[in-house]
Amino acid sequence: MNPLAHRPFVKMNGLGNEILVLDLRADPVEVTPAAARALARPQVLPFDQAMVLYPPRQDGTAAFVRILNSDGSLSAACGNGTRCIAALEAERTGAPHVLFESEAGLLDCLVRADGQVEVDMGAPRRGWRDIPLARDVGDTAAVVIPGFEALGPACLVSMGNPHAIFFAADADTVDVEGLGRALEHHPLFPERANISFASLTAPDSILLHVWERGAGRTRACGTAACATAVAAALTGRTGRQVRVTLPGGPLQIFWRERDDHVLMTGPVEHEFAGTLTPAMLEEAA
């Protein structure tokens, strides 16, 4: 029997970004890529990202978080998922301030009185090795990607995971699926990339569509919203505080100047809870 069988789960979403939460702090076991793919099947527990909580490695943190995409690949960061687990932890403990560990670093979260959750996503990384890219491309804020010259320059940045942001006259008209699928696997991105298409709707407002590596097109992506806000400020399109609206709804993004950290604020929604069954995991063998 799969060791995940009979473990409790919580299904949540952040702006429609589907999140599966598995709290394994009491009895840690590995969530394999095959198990993630089995659970993500449409007829089982379809999700974009699974947030798996393990015992903390540092004093003062609630958990170490491992993040898996629906295709079983690992992700170092997920903003919407982090808001979800912060809300759960604050509900469990009664403390609005929560600190998690992740592969991307510490995630400092605050659950506000109105239910909105703020997450400090840390500082963006812009060096070609840090994103990472396959080679030095010069200015990462303006990169013309071979084979996709017609899209114009992309701004490349990491928010714990690699992002390529293209600005368009109207992001609603872009072939997100076709271009996203191709660009995710472009040779320039050795670890694949999240692909975003953005357009300005006001001096401090951005419309955004996202193709997430390992998950495909999603209704929302927190790290993409953060990366896009950074890209818009870097290229002089906006200031450091913007509203980013995705198909699932808006996020408030603030790229703080004093420490270079990006703060993301938005809602979460609790869908349902349950227990994993052997049948859910049968294709993970």
User: What are the residue ranges spanned by the domains of the chain?
Assistant: 8-122+268-284, 149-258
Residues paired with 262 in a beta bridge: 255
The domain 149-258 having CATH identifier 1.20.1250.20: the answer here is no
CB neighbour list of residue 258: distance below 8 Å, 6 or more residues apart: none
CATH number for region 8-122+268-284 = 3.10.310.10
Q: Which of 78, 84, 109, 155 is catalytic?
A: 78
The conformation of residue 43, written as its DSSP 8-state character, comes to: T
50 pLDDT higher than 80:
yes
Would residue 78 show up in a list of annotated catalytic residues for this protein?
yes
Tokens linked to 81: 């998922």
The percentage of residues in the chain with a pLDDT greater than 70, rounded to a whole number, is: 99
- pLDDT confidence tier of residue 285, bands split at 50, 70 and 90: low
Do 149-258 and 8-122+268-284 fall under one CATH topology? yes
Average pLDDT over the chain, rounded to whole? Answer: 96
- pLDDT confidence tier of residue 283, bands split at 50, 70 and 90: confident
Averaged pLDDT for residues 110-121: 96
Q: Which of 109, 155, 221, 226 is catalytic?
A: 221
Q: pLDDT, tens digit, for every residue of 182-230?
A: 999 999 999 999 999 999 999 999 999 999 999 999 999 999 999 999 9
